[in-house]
């Protein structure tokens, strides 16, 4: 659903304020220095001490028995789906979920599973919505074998699933013999915003992962967590897909650094997101969805401009944001954006909207 970045005119200035995505954060000098000093081994045979340290730390943080280091969040989702599902199975997930909208149809292409899109505000759904999708056990119906959620919900505006809502959905799934999967790309944003510990959020979820390349600022890496048995089976898929990472400790070190230095500061990104939302809401014709974390979605319909047009105009002034629909823009705060940058971005968007 992320549209292509606007086509750059020749002579387009460099991006000064990058609100395009928290995926574009760059490793700091200190993170790079820490990575350079990492002790490494062969990750594939379980002897890279830095990857092992990261996996042990992540398993503990998520309250799971085991963890596996992977290059990306998409690969965590795909390997989790391959591990939970068989060809012909059905996954229940929100209609805006990353696994449904943004992974190239991977669930169908790789696992042979179909995803039924659930509806509900802010990327969330409830037990009533699940009940409405429940199929009878019959030779006609696809076996429903997985319920998946996103914490936070990306296209749901960075919304945080409350603990009670997570619990009721997971309980329903388990009552119907379906395992549960949590896409925790921005799980630490949810923790920082709500004060709920990752292990509590993930308690009823059979698999859960965290991305290090979003607001946590690492260059590469995501960690998938679950039971010993789940991670054991997931490892076969990692091998099959060619995802083993030899001296992966270089990258895992960046992730360890991120856990130590870049988690608490996510609170700043949330403050900046609220400031950005207030600023954008004061621009004529722009309406803003209330941000809960670091994603700010806004609608440009009443400006008479598509989100792409506004994005291209802002980009020509050195401010970049993404578009998620004809009239829906998304601006994302992260560690490479300061409070002053937010003020400047609002001023630029106000100016180009009027021009």
Ligand X SMILES: *Cc1c(COP(=O)(O)O)cnc(C)c1O
Binding site for ligand X (CB under 6 A): 23, 72-74, 77, 98, 150, 154, 183, 185, 211, 213, 222
Contacts of 261 (CB under 8 A, 6+ apart): 30, 31
Of 69 and 279, CB closest to ligand X: 69
Q: Which two tokens stand for residue 64?
A: 């799971």
Task: Choose between 78 and 144: whose C-beta lies nearer to ligand X.
Answer: 78
Q: Return the exposure string of 44-61: e unless at least 16 CB atoms fall within 10 Å of the residue's CB, then b.
A: beeebebbbbbbebbbeb
As measured in angstroms, the least distance from the Cβ of 216 to ligand X is 11
Nearer to ligand X, 213 or 303 (CB): 213
Give min distance, CB of 241 to ligand X, in A. 13
Whichever of 162 and 219 has its CB closer to ligand X, that residue is 219
Helix (H), strand (E), coil (C) string for 289-348: CCCCCCEEEEECHHHCCCHHHHHHHHHHCCEEEEECCCCEEEEECCCCCCHHHHHHHHHH
**Could you tell me the smallest distance in angstroms from the CB atom of residue 181 to ligand X?**
11
Residue nearest to ligand X (CB): 73
Distance in Å, CB of 69 to ligand X, minimum: 13
User: Measured between alpha carbons, how far is 193 from 267 in angstroms, rounded to an integer?
Assistant: 7
224 vs 311, beta carbon nearer ligand X? 224
- Considering beta carbons, is residue 70 or 319 the nearer one to ligand X? 70
Q: Determine contact, residues 38/250, Cβ cutoff 8 Å.
A: yes
Strand (E) or helix (H) holding 71: none
Closest CA to 82 of 118, 105, 112, 117: 112
Q: How far is the CB of 172 from ligand X (least distance, A)?
A: 21
């Amino acid at each position: 659903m992320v549209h292509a970045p606007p086509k750059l005119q020749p002579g387009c200035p460099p991006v000064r304020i990058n609100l395009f995505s928290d995926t574009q954060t760059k490793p700091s000098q200190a993170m790079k220095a820490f990575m350079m000093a990492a002790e490494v081994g062969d990750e594939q045979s379980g002897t890279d001490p830095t990857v092992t340290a990261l996996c042990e730390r992540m398993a503990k943080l998520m309250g799971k028995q085991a963890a596996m280091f992977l290059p990306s969040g998409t690969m965590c989702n795909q390997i989790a789906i391959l591990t939970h599902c068989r060809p012909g199975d059905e996954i229940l997930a929100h209609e805006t979920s990353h696994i449904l909208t943004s992974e190239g149809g991977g669930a169908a292409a790789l696992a042979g599973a179909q995803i039924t899109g659930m509806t509900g505000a802010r990327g969330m759904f409830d037990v009533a919505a699940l009940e409405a999708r429940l199929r009878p056990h019959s030779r006609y119906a696809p076996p429903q074998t997985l319920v998946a959620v996103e914490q936070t919900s990306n296209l749901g505006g960075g919304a945080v699933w409350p603990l009670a809502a997570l619990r009721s959905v997971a309980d329903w799934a388990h009552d119907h013999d379906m395992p549960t999967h949590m896409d925790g790309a921005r799980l630490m944003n949810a923790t920082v915003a709500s004060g709920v510990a990752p292990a509590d959020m993930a308690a009823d979820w059979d698999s859960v992962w965290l991305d290090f390349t979003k607001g946590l600022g690492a260059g590469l890496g995501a960690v998938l967590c679950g039971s010993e048995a789940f991670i054991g089976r997931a490892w076969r898929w990692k091998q099959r897909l060619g995802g083993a990472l030899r001296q992966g400790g270089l990258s895992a070190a960046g992730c360890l650094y991120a856990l130590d230095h870049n988690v608490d500061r996510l609170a700043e990104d949330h403050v900046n997101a609220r400031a950005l939302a207030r600023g954008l809401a004061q621009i004529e014709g722009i309406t803003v969805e209330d941000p809960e974390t670091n994603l700010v979605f806004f609608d440009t319909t009443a400006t008479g401009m598509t989100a792409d047009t506004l994005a291209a105009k802002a980009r020509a002034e050195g401010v970049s944001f993404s578009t998620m629909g004809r009239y829906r823009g998304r601006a994302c705060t992260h560690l490479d954006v300061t409070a002053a940058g937010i003020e400047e971005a609002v001023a630029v968007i106000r100016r180009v909207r009027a021009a």
